[in-house]
Amino acid sequence: MLSFFDVYRDINLVNVLVRLLMAVLCGGAIGLERSYKNRPAGFRTHILVCIGAAIASMTGIFMYINMQLPTDISRIGAQVVSGLGFIGGGTIIVVNNKKIKGLTTAAGLWVCGIIGLAIGAGFFEGAILATVLVLVAEIVFSILGGRISHNEAFRLELSYNDKTALNHVMRYCKNNRMIISNLEVTGTSDHHRPEYSVTIHVRTRKKIDHSDFIAYIRDIKGVTAASISNFEKD
């Protein structure tokens, strides 16, 4: 460990102030990146989480060392770690046809709380390194992740008047290793024969030509209309 921090490891008024200020800096650094990306939990939320975790950790140490109470100094910190799940859960939302958003922010809040516990316990080296690595993961790895190519999911809007048509479409998707994540069927009737409409959410394992795909679907017996639309990006 770095000897520079040894003078700040005891619990006294000056060291409490130093630890709380470090919690503000570490939590603020992580929260600033989240605020820049306009995420639901941003600058102030991360600072509050880090300060709260730091004071919780120091409270456990103070009760055990200064007040000499028969208590487990890690118990309060353990409750902080589990309680952060409720805060993180509030940042996770479902948007754009069941796409999940906010997982990174929730994980960042959880890590931010643990960094606060480390600061409160006097483990400054670990807290600083963890803050740096979190920022690297959220900034650098986010750029790298955006460069990973993958096949986007799309929505197939289908109308048909023969029930076997849907079976042919499903079989074609299966034979071409397409993943169907959702399927919604509605039925409408006219004066002559029933008409069905279906929305299928499809993700492909390999790149396909959408024009060839939709041309094949339209040629299936019983299909009256077919179109493809992409999901909106978050």
Kindly report, residue by residue over 104-113, the tens digit of the pLDDT. Answer: 888 889 999 9
The helix (run of H) or strand (run of E) holding residue 156 is strand 154-160
- The residue ranges of the chain whose pLDDT is under 50 are 232-234
Same domain, 135 and 170: no
Alpha-carbon span 78 to 35, nearest angstrom: 28
Same domain, 20 and 57: yes
Last residue within a domain, chosen from 146, 173, 200: 146
Residue 102: per-residue pLDDT:
80
| Positive or negative: CA dihedral 159, 192, 168, 184 | positive
- What HEC string does 45-95 produce? HHHHHHHHHHHHHHHHHHHHHCCCCCCCCCHHHHHHHHHHHHHHHCCCEEE
Same domain, 9 and 75: yes
Residue 185: per-residue pLDDT:
79
Same domain, 22 and 95: yes
Average pLDDT, the chain: 84
Last residue within a domain, chosen from 125, 146, 167: 146
Same domain, 15 and 121: yes
Kindly report, residue by residue over 156-187, the tens digit of the pLDDT. Answer: 888 888 888 888 988 888 888 888 878 887 76
Same domain, 92 and 171: no
| Single pTM value for the model | 0.66
Domain range holding 186? 154-230
Alpha-carbon span 223 to 234, nearest angstrom: 32
Same domain, 166 and 206: yes
Same domain, 11 and 30: yes
Same domain, 71 and 139: yes
Q: How many domains does the chain fold into?
A: 2
Residue 98: per-residue pLDDT:
59
Residue 99: per-residue pLDDT:
66
Residue 96: per-residue pLDDT:
61
